[in-house]
């Protein structure tokens, strides 16, 4: 079965950094694009970033561009999201998905990121 398990979330002060991980299993990880999305309290889901299957092409939403970096290690079947210069508005549950955002067929349960003083 397909499983996506996020980790690395937590509380951080504004300006701080966190590195999220998403461990994948149950499918040919290296054959699929991977996506990070988030959902803030009281808000709808928001696409954050996507990386292509080989890890050579990356895409970011305007809200995180220049601050976040997506990467992957296909040998470890893991996709990462390095988050720097965090802002309170980054507070959300962050989830990873198999595929492009609009077409993703599997999602992880998510990991909570809280940015506050």
- pLDDT tens figures, 60-86: 999 999 999 999 999 999 999 999 999
CA dihedral 13, 79, 56, 18 (to 10 degrees): 10
pLDDT in tens, 21-46: 999 999 999 999 999 999 999 999 99
What distances in angstroms separate CA 85 from CA 32, 65, 69, 98, one per listed residue?
29, 11, 12, 26
**What is the 8-class DSSP label of residue 8?**
-
Percent of the chain residues topping a pLDDT of 70: 100
pLDDT at 109: 97
CA dihedral 47, 61, 48, 38 (to 10 degrees): -70
pLDDT at 9: 98
């Amino acid at each position: 079965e397909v499983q996506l398990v996020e980790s690395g979330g937590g509380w951080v002060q504004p300006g701080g950094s966190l590195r999220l991980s998403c461990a994948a299993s149950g499918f040919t990880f290296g054959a699929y694009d991977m996506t990070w999305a988030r959902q803030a309290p009281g808000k709808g889901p928001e696409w954050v970033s996507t990386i292509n299957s080989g890890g050579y092409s990356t895409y970011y939403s305007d809200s995180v561009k220049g601050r976040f970096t997506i990467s992957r290690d296909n040998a470890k079947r893991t996709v990462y999201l390095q988050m720097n210069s965090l802002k309170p508005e980054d507070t959300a549950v962050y989830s990873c998905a198999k595929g492009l955002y609009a077409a993703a067929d599997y999602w992880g349960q998510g990991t909570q990121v809280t940015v506050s003083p």
